[in-house]
Amino acid sequence: MPAYQVTARNFSTASENRMHSNAVAQSHGFKGALVPGVAVYGHLVQPLVEKFGSQWLGQSHTALRLLKPAYDGDELNIVLSEETQGQFRVTCHNQDELLLAEIMAGAMPPMPADIGLGGPAKATPKVEINWDNVVPAEVFVEKTWSLSEAENNRYCKEIGDHAPVYDEHIHPHYLLSLANYCLMEEYQMPAWIHASSITNHRAALKVGDMITSKTVVKEKFERKGHQFITLHITYWRGEELTTDILHTAIFRIAE
């Protein structure tokens, strides 16, 4: 099945998230700064878009798991395989054949009956995230985003994906990166790790579109000493729901 190789790049060294810096990442036991998970996702979707074209950008379901970090300079091998009829798996291994990430892609789920936006507005100002100020069912302030050509080109350049389809359509790397901003605009996040995302593309977004993001805290949980937050993020073009994402991050790394 289709495969390609690409060199991972850490383009977020200036990010508020200091897991993209060598010193902080190494203090948590990693060998160096982490490549953004959204960039790994951008590489993983490339063979799906190559196979299905722009239709995939407007009608698709993917479940991303980030299993091990990618580091700047890693040689990534991206492989698409069909698991069962209509169900696809895309894997990302590094030069040591270690599985770093994967996505499962398949049929679209039904439109959600309740996207959980009837809860209380987030009560705390933007302070450093901790267990007590992550409150399930809290709703964030809506954000408006202009999906510009310049930004779309920047996100494509970051991962070296210059497919002609992105002359008109917004790259999935850009859209999942906005989910990170939905999180970081509500909390100070000095050191955190993107863990997983489930994304439903319900209508293709295009260069020049204006969208509104609506975000609710879905849950918080602990596992192996890590503390996690899951957000349910939806993008709206006017009254049209174009994208919904369950976005999970480790906000406190086990000591």
Query: Nearest-CA neighbor of 12 among 55, 65, 71, 81?
Result: 71
Decide: pTM greater than 0.85: yes
Domain boundaries, the chain: 3-252
Query: Nearest-CA neighbor of 163 among 247, 40, 51?
Result: 51
Reported as type and span, the H/E element at residue 13 is none
Distance, C-alpha 124 to centroid of its chain: 25
Length of the chain: 255
Query: Nearest-CA neighbor of 196 among 171, 221, 160?
Result: 221
Q: What are the residues whose beta carbons fall under 8 Å from the beta carbon of 85, sequence distance 6 or more?
A: none
Reported as type and span, the H/E element at residue 147 is none
Q: What pLDDT is attached to residue 108?
A: 76
Give the pair of three-digit tokens for residue 122. 């987030």
Burial zone of 84 (CB within 10 Å; 0-12 exposed, 13-18 middle, 19+ buried): exposed
Rounded CA separation 63/54 (Å): 19
What is the fold, at CATH topology level, of the domain defined by 3-252? Answer: Thiol Ester Dehydrase; Chain A (3.10.129)
Torsion of CA 115, 118, 120, 121, to 10 degrees: 70
Q: What pLDDT is attached to residue 30?
A: 81
For 92-150, the pLDDT digits (tens) are 999 999 999 999 998 777 666 566 667 788 878 889 999 999 999 999 999 999 999 99
For 192-214, the pLDDT digits (tens) are 899 999 999 999 999 999 999 99
